[in-house]
Every structure is written in C-alpha cells, then in structure tokens.
Structure 1
Amino acid sequence: MTIAAGAPPTHTTPGGLALGFLTGGVIGVSLTAFISGCAVGKAPLIVTGLVLPAAYGLLRHLCTLPRRAREKAVVPRTALAMIESLEALGGDASDVPVRFELTVAPDDGPAYRVEFRQGINLVELPDYRPRGIVVVEYQPERPWKVRIVKRPTPAWEERAAGAYLDSAPGPAMTDDAPQGCAGGVLTLLGLLLGAAAVLLLFRADLFGPDAGGAAPEPSVTSSSSTTTVTSATGTVALGPGRSMLDQGELRKAVESLTQDGEQRQALTVVVQERLLTVVFSPTGVRTAGFDPLALPFDRVAALVEEAGATLGAGSPRSWQLTADGVTGPLTLRVMVTGDRGTGVLEADGQGNVLRRNGS
C-alpha cells in the first residue's frame, strides 16, 4: 500500500499569537513593577510584580479547562507511520527516552512529518529502525500529538506488516513548535509595552525629585553650618571653630534633620568632629531602625574622651562615632585615632560601655 505525501499541517494560530503577546505584556509589567518597586521602596509595585504572574497563570489555567476537557473527550485516531529517524537520549536501566521523527499517514488526510519523544524499553528498542512501519495514535485537532502504539490490534498489525509509505516533506512538527518570527516579535512587543506602561503610570514616583533619594532638597546654610536633607540621608556640616562635642551641638544637629515632624527612623548615624550623617529608613517600608533623637547625647563626649584616654591612642587626632540599629538593639561604636594607634570602644543605647579594644 502506498500513501502520497502532503504538506504538514501547522498549529500556529491567531489565538496563539495573541496569547504570546499577552504573555510578553505580563512579563514586562511584572518585572518592571517589581524592580522599580524595590528601587524606590514602593510596596504596591513590589506586590504587583509578585501577584500578577501568579494571577495570570491561574486565569490561563481556568480559561483552558474547557479546551482540555474537550481534547480529553476526543477519541484518538489511529494511523500508520514510517520511522524517518530515531535517537536514544539515555535513561535508566529499563526505559530510555527516544526522539522519533515519523511520517504519519492518516487515512483521511495528507501525510506529514512529526518529531516527538517517547519512552521505549531497552528490550524492545531493536524493533524500531529507520524505514520501519509502526502504528500510531494522534489527536485530530492537534496532529502533532503523536504516540506509537506498542501493542496494536491484530488488524492494524497486519496493515503495518504489508504497508509501504513515502516520506513526507519537512519540516517536522513538534509539541513545542516555535511560533516563528511573528510570534517572537509579538511577544517582545508585549514585553516592551508592558514595561513602558509601568514606567508611564508611575513616572512621578520613579523619576520625581525624591525618586531613589538621589535628588537633594535645597540646603539650609547659615554662617556656621550647612544642613542637607534628602529622602534617604541627612547631613549637617559645622563651620570652623565648632565641634559636635560642644554642649548641645549634636542634639541640635539631629533635631535639624528631623524637624519635618515625620518621626523618621534611622538605620545608621555617623558623627565626626564637624560632620553628622544620618541614613534614614526607606519611606513606606517597614524595616529595622531607631529614633535618632534617642541617642545618649550627654554621653557622647565622655565616650570619645574615654576611648582616647584609656585605649593608648595618645594625643587624639580624629574620632568617629557610629550608631547602628539595623541588625538588633542600638549599638554605639567609637573609634579614636591618635599618635600611638587606634582605640575602639563599644557602648549600648544608653551610653554604657560594653567592651574596649586598643592597638
């Protein structure tokens, strides 16, 4: 029996192209929203980036339930096929996955090529050889869904024994056949439009003057100090002849950075002779931190003096106090550098000395 070959059917449809465009849009929106939300500290954007893919996957699953139910109810059709090539891909001791390329010849349509994988027992593998005729089952609406019938009925086994098939022209269809250039372009277009939509809708948050804390507010300058405050940091630089160790100077400097009434939490406070730097917690994000006004201001001068006098630092040349409350309770670390080395002192949030170290 000879069956003429025909052009292979295709399974790229307008619905598949539209689905690719929609998938690209969801990817673009979710990735851009998540990354942008992390960059500017916006919780709604972060949540959108995490929830949207999950919601899209669930919706797609629900929408395809009727189609998958219909396909399950369709009785597969049986046909003869010729093995064009096969390749064992390795596996365990009993079954191995084999890549088959077949020419399938339906009784009521043109022949076509298809490529798929199927597990074959090692003992039965020699029964499959190029140009050999096998019996297959396929889905009428999705002809690339092909499986070799290992135990066909006697009637089909008799047909296969006396059949001769011509090779169908390629290319072979596969279960994961690409959508082609048009599908790839539409998916990329959807991704770019989704990303652009997020950037456009939230441009004020992403590119506004406070985005990422990069753009500083106007500095307040007096004859003896300069104060600069942004959404992420605040600094106070004293003029010549003044020191953060002067009575009330450090407290006044911290208050100048927190006078907006928002009671902002600080992650780190660094104090030097004439410079104060405060790193604030991101706005709208619940993180660890401490109230910078809770620092033991009255103990700072004594801690610096003790670090320089008792740790062998000699005549102090520079000092720095770092207050850190990110990983636990507020901790103060004082480092004094002098003629004979460096002294380090650690204290708790009330200014009580915990440990000393000198070199």
Structure 2
Amino acid sequence: MRHSVRRFLALDVLLGAAVVGLAFAALAEGVVDGRGWLLYVGLTTTAFALTLLGAVAEHGHGGAASGLRPGGPRAYAPALVHSVRSVHGESGRLVLDPQAAGALFAFDLTVVPEGRRPFRVEVRHPLDVQDLLHRGRAVVEYDPRQPWRVVLPDRPPHEWLARAERLDEDVAATAGGSPRGLPPGAHVLVTGALVAAGLVGALHLAG
C-alpha cells in the first residue's frame, strides 16, 4: 500500500499527471463552455496523451511478468514449464534465432506458491537459466505482496529444485490467470484525472 502511494507521488508521475490533467481540463471546459478553440486543443492533447499512455502500458507489460523490487519481499516457489519460446524483447514477437540481437527466452510457467492459488505467468530472461529447454520443472522467485513480480533465479536452492521435481502436472488445471498490478501509465492517468477535476472545479468556483 505504501509503495503504491509513493508511486503516485513520484516526480515523473506528478509531471505527467500535470500534462494529462491540463489536457482533460481543457477538453472538459471546451465541452461545458462551448469554446471551439479550447475544445479543439482539449481533444488533440487528450488523444495524444491517451495514445502515449496506451503505448507505455503495452510496452511496459507486454504480457510478461515484472521484475522484483529492490529490497522488496521475495519467496521461492516451484513451477511447471509449459513451453519456452524466443521472442523479441521490445515487441514480444517470435524470433527464430534465440541468439539474435534483442532476443529473449519467454518461459510459460504455472507457479505454485505456498498458501495461495497457483497462477500462470510468462517470465522472460536473456538466458536459458535452469536449462528449461530440456526440463519440465522450474523454481521461481516472486514477491508475495505483488505476485505479478516473478523472476527465474540462476541458482535456486536444491531443496526447492527437489520440490519442483515432485510437482503434479494436474496442478495446472487449478491455476488462475496471471496476477497484475496497475499497468505502466495508470498512475499518471488516475492522478491526471484528479488534477483535471480539481482544475475544473477551481475555475468554476472562481468564475
């Protein structure tokens, strides 16, 4: 919770929110007051802002798990390996040569954490850690508070490798979808909407 609040108050979020808020406020004022030039400016800047935020969100997640937070909580969990593909790191498109520039391995996994429902997730890594091209079991490290943050450690503990080898494939049938936090850009969008509401309210109170 504290991490989310700090993220909303981060400098980059506040600067982006100021721009988005002004765009939303101009659009709202143009609609309410009927000023053609203000409506045009509001529509143009709002369309640009939403397009940019959508691109940020698509690039930020790309269907893959996020990395761990520095200093954040973490725990090990066994996982089933469904498939391993080579994809382009930015676009997520399949590539034929895993050694090509920008290529990453995409591991389709079902993570089985202790005390919670298994979930399916895609983890990307530039190397075939744990030799998963030839194995059906893996060990992941994840954030218990933000389980969409999952990585593949290079050298997991032997006891967790043993747990992974004992996993039953039927556990995949009980897995839920990949957990997700707010997508990249969502903090800017939400804060920008609040800024716009405050600006419009202040203008109408002053006028």
TM-score w.r.t. structure 1 length? 0.31
More helix by share: 2
TM-score w.r.t. structure 2 length? 0.49
More strand by share: 1
Larger Rg: 1
Greater RCO, 1 or 2 (C-alpha within 8 Å, sep 6+): 2
